[in-house]
Amino acid sequence: MDALSTDISAVRLWAASALAQMAAVSYAEVVKAVPPLITALRTDSIPAVRSNCAWSLGEICRELPSNVVYAGAIDALIESFAEDEDLGVREDAKAALLKVGDPRALQLIEELELEGWF
């Protein structure tokens, strides 16, 4: 988790992917992993790192109950899908949301696509 915010971009890239494995460890570890992933998804300067954060959040959300941690992760993915300046990050956020199948996110994706947003 520290590497995601403090290390060089190559390490941050792998750290983001590695945090997806927290879902297999324990719920307590997932709760610790989600905030740094959200922060990096919103602020990292490297699009590939943000993309890996989106993927990891999607993997983690598939294992989470619908609670405040889940909702925060979904909100961050929706925000990235709608607002990230990098098309690849937006696509990865969308793919993560589709994989999770969150009804609110699916509705938003459908509405934006009907409006020709993407």
Tens of pLDDT, residues 2-30: 898 888 999 998 899 898 887 778 888 88
Distance CA 63, CA 23 (A): 6
pLDDT of 56: 96
CATH superfamily of 2-114: Leucine-rich Repeat Variant (1.25.10.10)
pLDDT of 118: 61
pLDDT of 107: 94
pTM of the model: 0.90
Of the candidates 2, 43, 6, 44, the residue with the CA atom closest to the CA atom of residue 19: 2
Render 13-73 in DSSP notation, one character per residue: HHHHHHGGGGGGT-HHHHHHHHHHHHHHHHH-S-HHHHHHHHHHHHHHHTTS-SSHHHHHH
Distance CA 98, CA 2 (A): 29
**pLDDT tens-place string over residues 23-60:** 778 888 888 999 999 999 999 999 999 999 999 999 99
List the chain domain ranges: 2-114
